[in-house]
Amino acid sequence: GQQVMQIPQYQHVQEGEDFTTYCNSSTTLSNIQWYKQRPGGHPVFLIQLVKSGEVKKQKRLTFQFGEAKKNSSLHITATQTTDVGTYFCAGRLTGGGNKLTFGTGTQLKVEL
């Protein structure tokens, strides 16, 4: 079936190192949203991208939507312990109905 895969599944970094998670879809996406879920918490919306090649920044976070609208990335510069959590991408798949399909998630751990 149609899937949205994220890599890596897990990432351990030292505080201050950079981190990137990649989101790949089997079909074209109309949009891409990113959510963060802290351990024991619930997903919280971070951002939405809708245009091919779009790049948006939020402080140390940079979000990118691929030119073909089939992939996206989230890059965190100089990670902090507050960045710990699982990052999910989500998007509307072409032919997937009017709903968001969530990615498999990347769990980030930051060590001092």
Partner 1 sequence: ETGVTQTPRHLVMGMTNKKSLKCEQHLGHNAMYWYKQSAKKPLELMFVYSLEERVENNSVPSRFSPECPNSSHLFLHLHTLQPEDSALYLCASSPGLAVSYNEQFFGPGTRLTVL
Stretch that binds partner 1, among 16-24, 36-44, 51-59, 66-74 (CB under 8 A): 36-44
Q: Which amino acid is at 108?
A: L
Q: Which of 74, 88, 108, 110 binds partner 1 (CB under 8 A)?
A: 88
7-10, long-range: CB < 8 A, 24+ apart:
7/106, 8/106, 9/104, 9/105, 9/106, 9/107, 10/106, 10/107, 10/109
Q: How many CB atoms lie within 10 A of CB 38?
A: 13
Q: Hey, which residues between 1 and 20 contact partner 1 (CB under 8 A)?
A: 4
Say how many residues touch partner 1, by CB under 8 A: 24
Footprint on this chain of partner 1 (rule: CB under 8 A): 4, 30-31, 33, 35, 41-45, 48, 50, 88, 90, 92, 97-105
